[in-house]
Each structure stands twice: as C-alpha cells, then as structure tokens.
Amino acid sequence: MAGKPIVFIDGGDTLVVEGSIKRDENDVVQSTDPVPGALETLRWLKDNGYTVCMVDDVKNQSVTNVFMANGHLDCFAAVSTSEEAGVAKPAAGIFENAMKKLGLSQEDKKKIIMVGNSCRNDIAGANRFGITSVLMDWSPRHNMTPQNADEVPDYIIHRPDELPELLERLERRNGG
Ligand SMILES: [Mg+2]
C-alpha cells in the first residue's frame, strides 16, 4: 500500500461510451457500452490491490445500473457522484467527498491520481485540488487541447489498458 497510487476515475468516455448511453425520463442511465478494455482494466486494478473510486457527474443509480449489469461494481471501493457531493467536477467538493468515503488523509492525497477525458472538468479539477491528473484521450468527443494552465494534464494515456503500466511507473516513483 505504501506507494500504490489511489485511482479516481471518470465514467463517460473514460470507462463507458458516452454516445451509447441510454437514460430514462429521470436522467438515470439505464445502459451503456464499455470503452474497449475498460472493464478488463477495472478488473486488473481490483485484482492487483488498487483502490479505485469513480468520480463522476451522475446520479448514484446510474453507476449502480451500469456496473451491476456489467458485473464490475465490486471493482470500486467507493463512488463519488455529483448527486451525492452536491457539486460537479471541476469543483473540489466531489473529490473531497471521494476522499472522505475512502477514509483518506491529507498524507494519502499525494498518491491520488484522477483519470478522465475532460481537460475542463477532470484535469483542471484534479490539478486545482492538488492531485495527479491523467488525461485519457480515447474519445474525440471533447476538445483535448488544454485551454489554460489548469487544464494541462500531468500524464496522457490513450486507452484504458495503458493505465496499469502508468500506475506501475508511478508506484516506483512513489517508492512502492
Ligand atoms: Mg467523461
């Protein structure tokens, strides 16, 4: 556990394909397709002892619906949604809520990485909150060019299955 990064991760276009999302009349997600390699990567993280928290601007029930259906809800140690935190990314409150739910201390904070596809929400949110930011630019849906210094990611990966190698690199850096 010493140097193991703690993984905060976005949903839409990071783990699930935003364009495939089907919602009901209450804006609750009913189903969606995974990003290729995302579920395998979640399972790898779980099997290898990483703490993973989904941090996403959705309703709690949406996360439950999608990840119960695909059998990977157990890969998350916690879930922090905008519904629960009362604020959406990039606001600090949704990240603070994730830390609280995982019982993390200020000392743990330097081990947290946030993986997401939005420079404006995921990357700027992580950078301002003071955690490591990882842009996953798999989806062409958003502008991947940082618009200001806050939106510049610490690391860039292109697909979910590139995450394990990055984590192992960061773990060595952390002295794990
Ligand atoms: Mg997203």
Ligand 1 midpoint to CA 71 (Å) = 21
Q: How far is the CA of 123 from the centre of ligand 1 (A)?
A: 11
Ligand 1 center to residue 45 CA distance, Å?
19
pLDDT of residue 176: 61
CATH code, 87: 3.40.50.1000
Distance 10 CA to ligand 1 centre (A): 5
| 60-86: average pLDDT | 97
Tell me, yes or no, whether 137 lies in a domain.
Answer: yes
- The total number of structural domains that make up the chain: 1
* 118 Cα–ligand 1 center, Å: 6
The Å distance, Cα 152 to ligand 1 centre, comes to 16
| Structural domain range at position 12 | 6-173
> How does pLDDT run across 3-51, given as a tens digit for each residue?
899 999 999 999 999 999 999 999 999 999 999 999 999 999 999 999 9
Q: How much distance in Å is there from the Cα of 175 to the middle of ligand 1?
A: 30
- State the distance from the centre of ligand 1 to the C-alpha of 89, rounded, in angstroms: 10
pTM exceeds 0.75, yes or no: yes
In a domain, 33, yes or no: yes
Reply yes or no on whether the pLDDT at 175 is more than 80. Answer: no
Residue 50 Cα to ligand 1 middle (Å): 21
Confidence of residue 2 (pLDDT cuts 50, 70, 90): low
* Residue 1 within any structural domain of the chain: no
pLDDT of 39 reads: 98
Write out the chain in H/E/C secondary structure. Answer: CCCCCEEEECCECCCECHHHCEECCCCCEEECCECCCHHHHHHHHHHCCCCEEEEECCCHHHHHHHHHHCCCHHHCCEEEEHHHHCCCCCCHHHHHHHHHHHCCCCCHHHHEEEEECCHHHHHHHHHHHCCEEEEECCCCCCCCCCCCHHHCCCEEECCHHHHHHHHHHHHHHCCC
Give residue-wise pLDDT tens across range 101-148. Answer: 999 999 999 999 999 999 999 999 999 999 999 999 999 877 788 999
**Residue 75, domain member (yes or no):** yes
